[in-house]
Amino acid sequence: MKEHIFKGKVILITGGTGSFGKKFARIILDEYSPKKVIIFSRDELKQFEMAQLPEFNAHKDTIRYFIGDVRDKDRLARAFHGVDYVVHAAALKQVPAMEYNPSEAIKTNVMGAMNIIDASIERGVKKVIALSTDKACNPINLYGATKLCSDKLFVSANSYSGFSGTKFAVVRYGNVVGSRGSVVPFFKKKRAEGIIPITDKRMTRFWITLEQGVRFVIKGFERMHGGELFVPKIPSMNIMDLAKAIAPDCKTEMVGIRPGEKLHEVMISEDDSRNTKELDDCYVIQPAFPWWRQDNHAEGKDVAEDFRYSSDSNEDWLTIEQLQKIIGD
C-alpha cells in the first residue's frame, strides 16, 4: 500500500483552534503519522485550552502552537518555514458582524489569503487547500464576497507559483453540523425556552458533518492538481425539519430573513457549469486558465450546461431521524 502524502511531513493549520482545525489536527495526528502539526491562530487562551485536552496532550511531541495572524505576512513567513502542507481555515465568518465591520473582513479574508499565498510560495510549501463556503457562490453579503475573492486568489495563485512550485486548491461546502456559529447549537439553546425562531419556513441549507468535511479536505490533498474548487455531494435539509429534529416539542416563531441571508444556498451556479466535472463523491470546478490540463480528472463527466447545485433542488435530503442520529439527541 502506498504511503500517505502526510506521513513524515509537516502540516500547518491556520485557524487551528477552531472546530475544523481541532478535528483536522486530531485525525492527522491519530491516523497519518506526520512529523509535525502546527496550530497557527491568534488566541493564546484557546491554544492553551487545546493543549490541555487529552487527545492533543498525547501528541505533545508532535504538535506545535504558533501565535500569529494571517494579516501579518512576516509572521506567516516564519511559521511556514519547513512546512509541507497548509490548510487555510482561518476566517472572519459571522455575517452580521462582517456587514458592520467590512474593512476587518477584507483584511482577514482577502488580504490574509494573499499573505498565505505569498508565504507558501516563498517558503516552498508543496500544497495548500483553502476552505471556502456556500456563501461565496453568487454572494449577497460581505462575508460571501470576501470568500469569493479569496477563492479566486487561491485558484489564480497557480498561475505564478511555477510549474513545479506550490499547488493551490479550494474546498467549498455547506453548513457544518454543530460547529461554532451553527444554527444547531443555537436551536439547542432555544429549546430550553420552548420557542424556536424560524427565519422562513421555506429555507433550505446544505449540511455536512465535521468529520466528513475534514476527510474531504484530506482527499483533496491526495487528488488535487492545483487550481480546482472541490464541492462535495452532501444532503440538504429544510429549516422546519431541522427544528423538528432538535426541538420536536417546541413551538416555532417566524422572525423573518436576516440581512445578507439567502432563502436557499447555491454551491455551483449555472455560470460555473461549463467548467464543472462530476466525480463519484463531488464536483470539481476547473480553472479557466491556459495552464490547466484538460485531462486532469479525466475520470469525471461534464455536467449539463445549465447545471445548478442548489440546496432547494438537491436530490439528496437529510431526514429528521438522520440528523438526530448525527447530533446525538
Q: For residue 33, what is the domain's CATH number?
A: 3.40.50.720
Instruction: Give me the number of domains the chain comprises.
Output: 1
- Assess if residue 119 is contained within a domain: yes
pLDDT digits (tens, 9 = 90+) for 11-35: 999 999 999 999 999 999 999 999 9
Q: What is the mean pLDDT of the chain?
A: 94
**What is the reported pLDDT for 203?**
95
**What is the reported pLDDT for 3?**
86
**What is the reported pLDDT for 186?**
86
- Assess if residue 321 is contained within a domain: no
**What is the reported pLDDT for 69?**
98
What the block records as the C-alpha cell of 272 is 460555473
What the block records as the C-alpha cell of 319 is 431526514
Q: What is the pTM of this model?
A: 0.95
Instruction: Give the residue from 237, 236, 243, 239 showing the smallest Cα distance to 258.
Output: 239
- Assess if residue 146 is contained within a domain: yes
- Residue 195 has φ and ψ, to the nearest 5°, of -130, 130
Q: C-alpha angle with apex 88: 85 to 94, nearest 5 degrees?
A: 165
Which parts of the chain have pLDDT scores under 70?
A: 1-2, 163-164, 178, 181, 329
**What is the reported pLDDT for 261?**
85
- Assess if residue 118 is contained within a domain: yes
- Assess if residue 29 is contained within a domain: yes
- Assess if residue 284 is contained within a domain: yes
pLDDT digits (tens, 9 = 90+) for 30-89: 999 999 999 999 999 999 999 999 999 999 999 999 999 999 999 999 999 999 999 999
Q: Which structural domain range is residue 92 located in?
A: 10-174+207-234+266-310
- Assess if residue 81 is contained within a domain: yes
Residue numbers annotated as active site: 135
Question: 128 and 119 in contact (C-beta within 8 Å)?
Answer: no
Strands of the chain (E only): list them. 10-14, 36-41, 63-67, 85-88, 127-131, 167-171, 175-176, 195-198, 204-208, 229-232, 236-238, 251-254, 266-268, 276-278, 282-285, 301-302, 309-310
193 Cβ contact partners less than 8 Å away, ≥ 6 residues apart = none
Strands of 194-302 (E only): list them. 195-198, 204-208, 229-232, 236-238, 251-254, 266-268, 276-278, 282-285, 301-302
**What is the reported pLDDT for 163?**
65
